[in-house]
Amino acid sequence: VPVYLDHAATTPMLPEAAEAMIPWLTERFGNPSGAHAVARRARRAVDEARDTVCSLLGVPPGGLVWTGGGTEADNLAVRGALGALEERDGPRRAVVVSAVEHRAVRDAAARSGAPVRTVGVDGDGVVDLASLTEALDASVAVVSVMAVNNEVGVVQPLEEIAGLVAARAPGAVLHTDAVQALRWLDLRQAVAGADLISVSGHKFGGPQGVGALGVRPGTPLRRVTEGGGQERDLRPGTHNVAGIVATAVAAAATDAARAGYLDAVRSRRDRLVGAVLDALPGSVLLGARADRVAGIATLCFEEVESEALLVLLDGAGVAASAGSACASGALQTSHVLAAMGVPERLAVGALRVSLAPSTTDDEVDEATEAIVDAVQRLRKA
Ligand SMILES: Cc1ncc(COP(=O)(O)O)c(C=O)c1O
Residues in CB range of 285: below 8 A, 6 or more apart? 273, 277, 297, 298, 299
Distance CA 19, CA 22 (A): 6
Phi first, then psi, for residue 148 (nearest 5°) are -140, 130
In this model, does residue 328 exceed pLDDT 70?
no
Q: What percent of the chain has pLDDT over 90?
A: 95
Atom number in ligand 1 closest to CA 104: 4
Distance 37 CA to ligand 1 centre (A): 35
Mean pLDDT of 302-326: 90
Ligand 1, pocket residues at CB < 6 Å = 69-71, 74, 102, 104, 146, 150, 177, 179-180, 200, 211
pLDDT at residue 330, rounded to an integer: 57
| Per-residue model confidence (pLDDT) at position 91 | 74
Determine the residue type at 79: R
Predicted confidence at residue 256, as pLDDT, reads: 98
pLDDT in tens, 76-134: 999 999 999 999 998 768 999 999 999 999 999 999 999 999 999 999 999 999 999 99
Quick check: 206 and 19 in contact, CB under 8 A? no
Percent of the chain with pLDDT over 70: 97
Ligand 1 midpoint to CA 279 (Å): 33
Ligand 1 atom showing the smallest separation from residue 325 Cα: 14
H/E element, 214: strand 211-215
> Is 300 an annotated catalytic residue?
no
Q: Can you list the alpha helix ranges (DSSP code H) found in the chain?
A: 15-25, 37-57, 70-89, 103-110, 129-135, 158-168, 187-190, 241-279, 306-315, 335-339, 344-347, 361-380
In three-state secondary structure terms, 381 is coil
Question: HSE on the CB side for 221, CA within 13 Å?
Answer: 29
Most confident of 211-215, 320-324, 326-330: 211-215
Pocket probe for ligand 1: among 98, 144, 150, the residue whose CB has the most ligand atoms within 8 Å is: 150
Task: Indicate the pTM of the whole model.
Answer: 0.97
Out of 22, 167, 325, 326, the active site residue is 326
Tell me: pLDDT of 327 over 60.
no
pLDDT at 331: 60
- Rounded to an integer, the average pLDDT of 321-341 is 76
Instruction: Please report the atom of ligand 1 found closest to the CA of residue 148.
Output: 1
- The mean pLDDT value of the chain amounts to 96
As a whole number, mean pLDDT of residues 49-61 equals: 98
Ligand 1 centre to CA of 18 (Å) is 20
Q: Which of 144, 180, 244 to mutate to test the pocket of ligand 1 (most atoms within 8 A of CB)?
A: 180
Of the listed ranges 139-143, 182-186, 333-337, the one predicted with least confidence: 333-337
The pLDDT, as a whole number, for residue 329 is 54
**Ligand 1: centre distance to CA 175 (Å):** 14
The kind and range of the H/E element at 354 are strand 350-354
